[in-house]
Chain A
Amino acid sequence: MTREEVIALVQDSDLNETVKTTLIKRVTEEGLTQDVLDTLKEALQMEIDKGFDALGIDISDTPEYKEKEATMVKEVDSAKADFDTAMVDIDQQTKTLQQQTSKALDELEAEMIKDQIE
């Protein structure tokens, strides 16, 4: 979908006018970034949830719902755990880089002091 198509989708949707204006402004100014797309989906989903709530449709007590929800939580948690591991690794490498840089700076400073003495 192009930006124009997404704007038309928002325009034609059943969202309220204020929400539509805000969303269209973001699409126009920022384009279809991941963040903008997530916001669009969330706005529609909130409207959907409200609609189903108004109809009184609730499936949260069904075993299938619980199973699907548990799968989703497991997948998100697993993705987060991998992300955390990657961040720990990057943190370690950042510390090493910082130590190497400090050492090189110490050496340069020592060299300059030595030059001044000589």
Chain B
Amino acid sequence: MGLFKRFARGESNEAPKPEKDAEDLVSDEIMEVMEPTHAERGREYFDKVMGGAKELWSKMTDKLSSVTGGAKERLFSILGFAVKDLKDTRKDAKAIYNYATESGREAVDIGKMSLVATKEAIKNTKDRAIEIGYTGAALVFMGTEAGYRMAVDLKNKGIELGTDAAKKTADAAISLRDMGVDATEVVKRFGADKLEKANNAAKRLKESGTNLAVDGIVFALESLVKAEEMGIDAKKWLEGKGREYLNKGVEIYGRAEKGTKELYRKGIEAKNKFWDRATAAKDRFVNWVNKEKLRMAREAQMEGKIEFLTEQVSRLTALVEARNRLDSVEPETNLISMFDEEEFSGAAAQEALA
């Protein structure tokens, strides 16, 4: 096979006419066109490997979520917050499922945004808060990731930032943060509309002498909110043996959560390392192929046999140069991954964003 198939000896020296004659070209050279090109086969191989890695990582994250998810559901059941009859159990499971799905979707949507894009979105939320008339701590809160998440979640639930309900929710988030509870985590787990209930639960726990600044505390808040929604008097429950059981539950859940986060961090590290190595290998190869092909095209051009090549070669040179320039672009850090992995609090987020 010649290096210049279409211009090989004995073949036409005319440039292939694009668009209109493309169909004819296909029928003439159907066998050749039907065969995947080397570039296509290379792409297929690379996509297959990357797809396999993505699938493996996705299975791993499912397994990791099932550790904390499973622990939480069982704890609810042990502590007596699993609803009594089958009808309610179904309802409860559905609510948990819906919530998990909603939070997952939210996390994916925000997770797709880069550091710069997220910073901008947070800034926009803060600007909007200024316009609406937020002041003091509430305004500061709206300039954090938790504030941004809250605004997005409320909007999804049809609550505008300017309403009293939204302002009350922001106050609840600030109060939670002041008590040492990560407001971002609460918004992520509960949804913004339950921030007030979470805040009340946190106050109750604090009154009962529970330290709120421990791993897994959000689980305790979730338990109490759930208990109240089921009509259980959380205050009375905490005065009895409830507090002791809840503390143990928080400890178990906290350990599971901490362990899961560590494994997730390790996984992300391995995934990024793989991605970097694989794309670097691909880039090296592709760059070499492009360079080599350009060299040959220029040689043919210099021989002056094929005039139209000049335009084609400069077009391809520009495309190759553009692609090469992208090789040196450092990807922007994903803000949300950074929060998730390093357990940023609202205050730390503010520092990072400043």
Interface size on B, residues (CB 8 A): 91
Contacting residue for A115 out of B16, B37, B56, B241, CB 8 A: B241
A56 close to B60 (CB less than 8 A):
no
- Assess whether B1 is in contact with A58, with CB atoms less than 8 Å apart: yes
Residue pair B282, A72 in contact (C-beta under 8 Å): yes
**Contact of A105 with B274 in the complex, beta carbons under 8 Å:** no
Interface string of A32-72 (1 = CB under 8 A from B): 11111110111011011101111111111110110011011
Residues of A within 8 A of B260 (CB): 94, 97
Instruction: List, in ascending order, chain A residues with CB within 8 A of B277's CB.
Output: 75-76, 78-79, 82
Q: How far is the CA of A61 from the CA of B1 in the complex (A)?
A: 7
Q: Is B284 an interface residue (CB 8 A)?
A: yes
B278 / chain A contacts, CB cutoff of 8 Å: 75-76, 79-80
- Interface window among B137-145, B146-154, B156-164, B251-259: B251-259
Whether the Cβ atoms of A31 and B284 lie closer than 8 Å is: no
Residues of A within 8 A of B2 (CB): 56, 58
Instruction: Give CA–CA (A6, B249) in the complex, Å.
Output: 50
Kindly report which residue of chain B lies nearest to residue A57, judged by CB atoms. Answer: B293
A30 engages B289 (CB within 8 Å): no
Tell me which of B74, B270, B297, B329 contacts A55 (CB under 8 A): B297
Complex: A101 Cα to B114 Cα, angstroms: 35
Kindly identify, within residues 11 to 63 of chain B, every residue whose CB is under 8 Å from any CB belonging to chain A.
Answer: 16, 18, 37-39, 42-43, 45-46, 49, 52-53, 56-57, 60, 63
B117 A31 Cβ-Cβ under 8 A:
yes
> Of A34, A45, A60, A84, which contacts B275 at CB under 8 A?
A34
Return B288 CB to nearest CB of chain A, in Å. 5
User: Given A9-B322, A68-B285, A76-B49, A57 and B296 touching (CB < 8 A)?
Assistant: yes
- A87 touches B (CB below 8 Å): yes
Contact in complex: B329, A68 (CB < 8 Å): no
Interface-central residue, A9, A51, A55, A80, by most chain B CB under 10 Å: A55
Complex Cα gap A42–B282 (Å): 11
Q: A73 vs B284: C-alpha distance in the bound complex, in angstroms?
A: 11
Rounded to whole Å, the gap between the CB of A36 and the closest CB of chain B is 8
B237: interface (CB < 8 Å): no
A83 touches B332 (CB 8 A): no
Of the residues A31, A55, A72, contact of B309 by C-beta under 8 Å: A55
Is B302 interfacial (CB 8 A cutoff)?
no
A1 within 8 A of B: yes
The answer to whether A51 and B252 touch (CB under 8 A), given A9-B325, A76-B281, A83-B53, is: no
Query: Whole-angstrom distance from the CB of B106 to the nearest CB of chain A?
Result: 16
Judged by DSSP, the binding face of B is helix
| Residue contact B319 to A14, C-beta cutoff 8 Å | yes
A56, A77, A82: the one contacting B49 at CB < 8 Å is A77
One digit per residue, 1 when the CB lies within 8 angstroms of any chain B CB and 0 when it does not, for chain A 85-99 equals 011001101100110
Query: Which stretch, B64-72, B86-94, B182-190, B223-231, touches the partner chain A?
Result: B64-72
A38 to B275, CA, bound (A): 11
Q: Is A45 within 8 A of B114, CB to CB?
A: no
Complex interface: chain A residues within 8 A of B52 (CB): 80
- B124-132, B201-209, B310-318, B345-353: which lies at the interface: B310-318
Bound-state CA distance A49–B252 (Å) is 56
Q: Are A56 and B7 in contact (CB under 8 A)?
A: yes
Name the residue in B16, B53, B285, B292 with the highest tally of chain A Cβ atoms < 10 Å from its Cβ: B285
B334 contacts chain A at the CB level, 8 A cutoff: yes
Asked whether any CB of chain A lies closer than 8 Å to the CB of B168, the reply is no
Chain B residue with Cβ nearest A97 = B259
**Contact indicator B78/A1 (Cβ below 8 Å):** no
Known: A41-B323, A48-B316. A58 touches B3 (CB 8 A): yes
Which 5 pairs across A and B sit closest by C-beta, in order of nearness?
A31-B114, A56-B6, A86-B270, A75-B281, A79-B277
Extra pairs beyond A32-B116, A48-B319, A101-B71 (14, CB < 8 Å): A1-B328, A30-B113, A35-B112, A54-B18, A55-B316, A56-B5, A56-B7, A57-B3, A57-B5, A59-B293, A60-B38, A75-B277, A83-B270, A115-B241
Q: What are 13 of the A-B contact pairs (CB < 8 Å)?
A: A1-B328, A13-B322, A35-B112, A44-B323, A55-B6, A57-B297, A60-B1, A75-B281, A91-B63, A97-B263, A105-B78, A108-B248, A109-B78
